[in-house]
């Protein structure tokens, strides 16, 4: 009817209904936007967070994309602030910590899928290349996850001698190189292959084995060893 005012959003009732659904042991699954809504409740105690949740999904493409988005990108979305960004960010941080702690101290071969889950969660949605080295002991257990830095995989970003020296310093006997492709396509480039072979060559001289170089993309990963390139 003309001139009739829109009914105010029943935020308290809506939140209570979401909370009850959350407690139903997964029998009533929440939609992605509802999960984001609930996380945003911590930063917005009364307002309707559904439009913002849907805007975030539109911006970042998926629930994983939202939870893995860098804080500046989250804050750039209208309606977001530092508190809201932190409420979303902590979920991704907690999930990554759980995965890496599950993998630490376990033989890599027996925890390979857990390790890949962790790497994909941490790197697949990045907008810049990130390089890391996973150092292993004589039992092939992960003893250190070293973030080398952001940038292309070449000798300007990752130095073969430093990688091997770090392995010797912590008593590692093997390592796995990991980096992501922001394009989403994890196929190795010529530079990826060349730097892997240089590090492997440096390692052979000092008894440090390069087991693999894994490239992470949004839709999966590629192992250089599986391709016969290591």
Q: In the chain, list all ranges with CATH 1.10.150.
A: 12-96
In the chain, CATH 3.40.140.10 sits at 107-223
| Residue pointed to by tokens 């996973």 | 134
DSSP string for residues in the chain: -TTPPPPPP-HHHHHHHHHHHHTSTTSSPPPHHHHHHHHHTTT-SSS--HHHHHHHHHHHSSHHHHHTS-HHHHHTSTT--HHHHHHHHHHHHHHHHHHHHHHTTSBTTTTHHHHHHHHHHHHTT-SS-EEEEEEE-TT-BEEEEEEEEES-SSTTT--HHHHHHHHHHHT-SEEEEEEE-TTS--PPPHHHHHHHHHHHHHHHHHT-EEEEEEEEETTEEEETTTTT--
pLDDT for res 48: 82
CATH topology of domain 107-223: Cytidine Deaminase; domain 2 (3.40.140)
pTM, 2 dp: 0.69
Domain 12-96 carries which CATH code?
A: 1.10.150
Residue 89: its pLDDT value, please?
Answer: 87
pLDDT of 1: 43
Q: What is the pLDDT along the chain (230 residues), one digit of tens a residue?
A: 444 444 445 666 777 777 777 777 655 678 888 889 888 887 776 678 889 999 999 998 888 888 888 889 899 999 999 999 998 988 888 887 787 777 677 787 777 888 888 888 888 878 888 899 999 999 998 889 898 877 767 655 788 999 999 999 999 999 999 999 988 889 999 989 999 999 999 999 999 999 999 999 988 899 999 999 88
Please choose, from the candidates 224, 111, 110, the residue with its C-alpha nearest in 3D space to the C-alpha of residue 177.
224
């Amino acid at each position: 009817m003309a001139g009739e005012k829109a009914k105010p959003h029943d935020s308290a009732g809506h939140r209570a209904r979401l909370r009850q659904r959350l407690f139903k042991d997964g029998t009533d699954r929440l939609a992605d936007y509802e999960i984001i809504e609930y996380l945003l409740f911590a930063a917005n105690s009364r307002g309707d967070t559904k439009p913002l949740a849907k805007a975030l999904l539109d911006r970042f493409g998926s629930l994983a994309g939202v939870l893995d988005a860098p804080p500046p990108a989250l804050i750039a979305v209208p309606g977001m602030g530092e508190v809201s960004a932190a409420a979303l960010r902590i979920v991704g941080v907690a999930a990554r910590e759980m995965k890496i702690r599950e993998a630490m101290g376990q033989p890599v071969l027996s925890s390979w899928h857990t390790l890949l889950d962790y790497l994909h969660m941490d790197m697949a949605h990045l907008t810049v290349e990130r390089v890391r080295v996973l150092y292993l002991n004589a039992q092939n257990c992960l003893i250190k996850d070293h973030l080398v830095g952001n940038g292309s995989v070449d000798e300007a970003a990752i130095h073969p001698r430093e990688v091997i020296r770090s392995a010797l310093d912590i008593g590692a006997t093997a390592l796995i190189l990991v980096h992501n492709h922001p394009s989403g396509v994890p196929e190795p480039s010529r530079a990826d292959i060349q730097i892997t072979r240089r590090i492997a060559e440096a390692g052979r001289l000092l008894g440090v084995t390069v087991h693999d170089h894994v490239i992470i993309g949004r839709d999966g990963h590629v192992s250089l060893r599986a391709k016969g390139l290591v």
